[in-house]
Amino acid sequence: AQKVTQAQTEISVVEKEDVTLDCVYETRDTTYYLFWYKQPPSGELVFLIRRNSFDEQNEISGRYSWNFQKSTSSFNFTITASQVVDSAVYFCALSVPDTGRRALTFGSGTRLQVQP
Amino acid sequence: GAVVSQHPSRVICKSGTSVKIECRSLDFQATTMFWYRQFPKKSLMLMATSNEGSKATYEQGVEKDKFLINHASLTLSTLTVTSAHPEDSSFYICSARPLAGGKDTQYFGPGTRLTVL
């Protein structure tokens, strides 16, 4: 079975601070995909990144960066110089294609509040 | 990018009525669509996997007779909440996996907020 843990339920920062959202996953499969989604108050999920299990390179996209560490089964997400518009719930998710279960297993989400 | 629509975006109904939610892939074909449910301030939980032309696969604890899923074409899946009750009030989100997909791509719809009075 797969599991995704986001231990931080809610984080509050002041604008321009850096913030890291933690994600720890569990799976016995060697082939899997990890995702991060942003869910603003409107409810619509906004895709941020997908990473496959064979690519441990860290990725940077503007103010966003992701640190994938297989050794610790973590896929952490950092927002640099946070902005009020970053306020949302962020979900980490996992899919394991080889099991035929292609649906995403989501973590419980981290609510980020960026104060002006 | 690929677009998935859901209709309606918001629905309020009386207890005991049935509500149909549509999920459409607008610019791609999808053999597989997924239905998720999200309670307020909670995570998304998979309800069922909908496969075109065959019966849906329901997750443990999800009543198949209550949540009827039909995937009649490669671009449309419907979820019907039968005899809805207040505890069915939730945010329902679908996602679609392209027929020619790679990297386990899924595209999510904008969600449907159901309120049962």
Q: What are phi and psi of A91, to 5 degrees?
A: -115, 135
d(CA A32, CA B32): 18
Which residues, 6+ apart, have CB-to-CB distance to B115 below 8 Å? B10, B11, B12, B13, B89
Q: How many CB atoms lie within 10 A of CB B103?
A: 11
The predicted pLDDT at position B2 comes to 75
Residues of B in contact with A43 (CB under 8 A): 91, 93, 110-111, 113
Residues of A in contact with B41 (CB under 8 A): 111
Query: From first to last of its 117 residues, what are the pLDDT tens digits of chain B?
Result: 679 999 999 999 999 999 999 999 998 898 889 999 999 889 999 999 998 888 899 999 999 999 999 988 999 999 999 999 999 999 999 999 887 755 567 899 999 999 999
Q: With CB atoms and an 8 Å threshold, state whether A91 touches B49.
A: no
Which residues, 6+ apart, have CB-to-CB distance to B89 below 8 Å? B114, B115, B116
Cα B73 to its chain centre, rounded Å, is 14
β A110-115/A101-106 pair status: unpaired
CA distances from B83 to A20, A106, A114, B15, B44 (A): 43, 28, 41, 7, 23
The predicted pLDDT at position B98 comes to 84
The predicted pLDDT at position B82 comes to 97
Best interface-test mutation with A: which of B11, B62, B104, B105 has the largest number of A CBs within 10 A?
B104
Q: What is the pLDDT of residues A28-87, one digit of tens each?
A: 999 999 999 999 998 999 999 999 999 888 889 999 999 999 999 999 999 999 999 999
The predicted pLDDT at position A102 comes to 75
Which residue's structure tokens are 């999800």? B62
The predicted pLDDT at position B1 comes to 66
Q: Which of A38-42, A98-102, A106-110 has the lowest mean pLDDT?
A: A98-102
d(CA A50, CA A17): 25
If you average pLDDT over residues A12-34, what whole number do you get? 95
The predicted pLDDT at position B72 comes to 83
Residues of A in contact with B95 (CB under 8 A): 103-104
The predicted pLDDT at position B106 comes to 84
Which residues, 6+ apart, have CB-to-CB distance to A6 below 8 Å? A21, A22, A23, A24, A90, A91, A92, A107, A108, A109, A110
Calculate the CA dihedral of residues B56, B115, A42, B1 and round it to 10 degrees. Answer: 30
Residues of A in contact with B11 (CB under 8 A): none
The predicted pLDDT at position B61 comes to 93
Which residue's structure tokens are 């918001």? B10
CA distance B35 to chain A (A): 9
Q: What are phi and psi of B115, to 5 degrees?
A: -120, 120
Closest-CA residue of chain B to A104 = B46
